[in-house]
Amino acid sequence: MNIELPPLVALLLFPGGLFILFSSTVYEWADRKLVAQFQNRIGPRLIQPVADVVKLLAKEEIVPDGVNPVLFHALPVVALVGTLTAALYVPMAGLKPSYSFTGDLVVTLYLLSLMTLSMGLAGANTIDRFSLIGATRALTQLFSYEAPFLLALLGPAIIAGSWQIAEVDQFARGHWWIVATQPIGFVVAVVGLMGKLELPPFDSPEAETEIVAGPMTEYSGRGWALFRIGRDIELLVGLTLMASFFLGGIANPIEFLLKTGGLLLVTAGLQSLFCRLRIDQTVGLWWRIGILLAVAQLFLLVFLR
Amino acid sequence: MDTQQEPRKTFVVPIGPQHPALKEPGHFEITVDGEIVTAATVRLGYVHRGIEKGVEGQNWAQAMYMLERICGICSHVHATAYALGVEALAGVQVPPRAQAIRVLVAELERVHSHLLWLGVAAHEGGFDTLFMYSWRDRELIMDVLEGLTGNRVNYSCNVLGGVKFDVDQKQSDAIRSAIDFLEPRTHHYLKIVTTDETLIGRTRNVGTLTAEEAERLGAVGPTARASGVARDIRVDSPYAGYPSFPVKTITAAAGDLEAKFIVRLEELFESYRVIREILDNLPPGDLSVRVKPRLPAGETVSRVEAPRGELLYYLRSAGGPNPDRVKVRTPSLCNWGTVLATAAGHKLADVPMLIAGIDPCFSCNDRLVTIRRRGDAETWTWARLRQYGIEYYR
């Protein structure tokens, strides 16, 4: 859909800004609800994620001893800003991206990585032992899935002949669903997205039963709320990007809902199917299987094209 | 930052006393080098309740209800061990029907305990789906126990000299239908723990305990049986109704976490079989015999097989209405050594599962233990004991 919105509205209200903030909480709810249903639980109410964030924002933020206070306050903001900015370059809600330029795919992917990087740094900033181990694991995981994820998303871009998200989306709409021709890339990208979001079974950076909340252990109140919103938005942006690239583009809001919802169903299913991987198993999976598959597919595309 | 001038310090990850992995307080200091565990120590005693001393002030019948509350999961075996000891002291013969009902409740309790453990162990490994499913199925057993005894925990089924209630046809049908549902479910879980790649990745060859080590460290119960040590009080010295309803010892050779899963799940099948057998062949007769309030002077040891292993009760009577001394040794206490011995060399991520692997019960095992060589006995006065306690918890 091509609706021309005033830039300020697009940035602050719709489809950027406020709209993203609220719709991302709905996606968090859907994710939690689906996993709960798969696990034979009831799951949260629709209002729960918003209520959590409001409550956290109202709470006192404790700055622990031994941290750099500037970094401690800045990192959640950086993480949130990164994901919010990334949301402007994807076809959110079926509209064309609010902002677009050549090569914005690469920028978007790096903006999404900012989230994990901020979390890792936030953990390394404290002297908490759980945080430090969590930070090590978060950054280790970042280096494992980032390359395969990037390579997987480059597949559709190479076919479309453009590194601009809007053009790839346009291309995908006019052709067969790319998931049919690049199933490997799709699988790598789905798993990569789950690794990025530290969803089970890739949640060893914040494995509750080992290191409490990993890098986030020392965060409370506002900082933790911002990280949470950032994570929700990353989920939304990631799903949009994947639907747009692999599932035949996003032409209108209904397609957006159906395709991202379908993807969410897949990731929720994967979340409830497996036992948590140890960090060495996660890294092994990516560097032994993920990257090889992604590279193989990339070479195939480059040569066959 | 004076830490940078010092030579490389050890990095200790504290697990507990407050930690999401632990449902009860205990303190583990895990020394790690990166992700690799180099040493582990445990400190217990956060929930010492002084029950052994407490029962000395109560009469023989009251003491059972207090002792039953040592453990919230295996309360029935505590009461059974105590009742068997008291009956031996009193020299009474408990009717066979009562003994069979004791075994029935004990096996139902074992089913609920093992299903609970399956869920906890899966949760420690991050497999929450298995956790939720096994706990959902466990509810059936809780309902059965509630229907049978009136309570979901602390069933209070024993009295000195027998049991409190009979099993009628309706209850027996309810138990049968629950078992009929659980048996295929257990087969399903056994299939999951032996075939699910991600779970095997976390359990196979993790925390391997050889049979010699298990013997040396004095492991009991499923922990020992998973290492191939055939040690089961129900078989080695049958008590209550077990002489008439024998069980088979389940062992596995591997000694790793996977073997612990397999042993516990296969024990469930054995429990289902015994439960059905008891329901089919419940001996007729009375439910209890009278035990006099004053027991003759003497001492006795009674041993039973709790879901976690051998539970030992030492009772001494001075001829009065109260126990003169009650000494309890719970199975978790025997198994801690195996966790600490196997932890080194594993990843930090394996530690919660290793701890959960012995099915620890913290508040049951908190007591003062000193180990002395033979002939090196020593008497502690009450004042000294009190002082020790004050200093320990300081």
At B338-385, the pLDDT tens digits run 888 888 888 888 888 888 888 888 878 777 777 666 777 778 888 888
Q: Which residues of B touch A37 (CB under 8 A)?
A: none
Cα A238 from Cα B296, distance rounded (Å): 76
Give the 3-state secondary structure of residue B14. Answer: strand
DSSP B211-227: HHHHHHTT--HHHHHTT
Distance, in angstroms, between A278 CA and closest chain B CA?
6
* A38: nearest CB among B129, B201, B349: B129
Whether B194 contacts B258, CB under 8 Å: yes
Residue B33 parent element (H or E): strand B27-33
pLDDT in the model for residue B5: 47
Q: Is A274 on the interface with B (CB under 8 A)?
A: yes
Whether A160 contacts A168, CB under 8 Å: yes
**Over pLDDT 90: what percentage of chain B?**
31
B13–A129 CB contact, under 8 Å = yes
At A195-242, the pLDDT tens digits run 888 888 888 888 777 788 888 888 888 889 999 999 999 999 999 888
Those of residues 111-150 in A touching chain B at CB distance below 8 A are 129-130, 133, 136
- Cα four-point dihedral sign B345, B350, B352, B357: negative
Most A CBs within 10 A among B348, B351, B354, hence the mutation to make, goes to B348
Most B CBs within 10 A among A129, A139, A194, A209, hence the mutation to make, goes to A209
pLDDT in the model for residue B101: 92
Cα A173 from Cα A169, distance rounded (Å): 6
pLDDT in the model for residue A220: 86
How distant, in Å, are the alpha carbons of B105, B342, B357 from that of B263? 21, 19, 11
pLDDT in the model for residue A9: 72
At position A293, the amino acid (one-letter code) is: L
Cα B12 from Cα B29, distance rounded (Å): 6
Q: What are phi and psi of B208, to 5 degrees?
A: -70, 130
Whether B166 contacts B283, CB under 8 Å: no
E runs forming strands in B130-270: 158-159, 162-163
pLDDT in the model for residue A212: 82
pLDDT in the model for residue B81: 92
B125–A210 CB contact, under 8 Å = no
Most A CBs within 10 A among B10, B127, B140, B351, hence the mutation to make, goes to B127
**Model ipTM?**
0.83
Cβ neighbourhood burial of B2 (10 Å; 0-12, 13-18, 19+): exposed
Distance, in angstroms, between A256 CA and closest chain B CA?
29
pLDDT in the model for residue A2: 62
pLDDT in the model for residue B134: 92
All structural domains of chain B with their residue ranges: 51-329
At A43-76, the pLDDT tens digits run 899 999 999 999 998 988 888 888 888 988 899 9
- The domain over range B51-329 is classified in CATH as 1.10.3720.10: no
Tell me the two tokens of residue B61.
């019948």
Long-range contacts of B135-142 (CB under 8 A, 24+ apart): B136/A40, B137/B181, B137/B182, B137/B185, B138/B112, B140/B178, B140/B181, B140/B182, B141/B108, B141/B111, B141/B112, B141/B115, B141/B178, B141/B182, B142/B112
Give the CA-trace dihedral at B134, B140, B145, B150, to 10 degrees.
Answer: 120
Residue by residue, pLDDT tens for chain A (305 residues) are 566 777 777 777 677 778 888 888 999 999 999 999 999 889 899 999 999 999 998 988 888 888 888 988 899 999 998 998 888 888 877 777 777 888 888 888 888 888 888 988 998 888 888 888 889 888 888 888 888 888 888 888 888 888 888 888 888 887 778 777 788 888 888 888 888 888 888 888 887 777 888 888 888 888 899 999 999 999 999 998 888 888 877 878 888 888 889 999 999 999 988 888 888 888 888 888 878 888 888 888 778 76
Nearest chain A residue to B136 by CA: give it: A40
B13–A211 CB contact, under 8 Å = yes
Q: Is B133 on the interface with A (CB under 8 A)?
A: yes
pLDDT in the model for residue B125: 85
What's the mean pLDDT when you consider all of chain A? 85
B132–A40 CB contact, under 8 Å = yes
Q: pLDDT under 70 in chain B at which residues?
A: 1-9, 371-373
pLDDT in the model for residue B2: 41
Q: Which residues of B touch A130 (CB under 8 A)?
A: 13
Name the nearest CA neighbour of A159 among A136, A175, A139, A140: A175
* B132: nearest CB among A41, A276, A277: A41
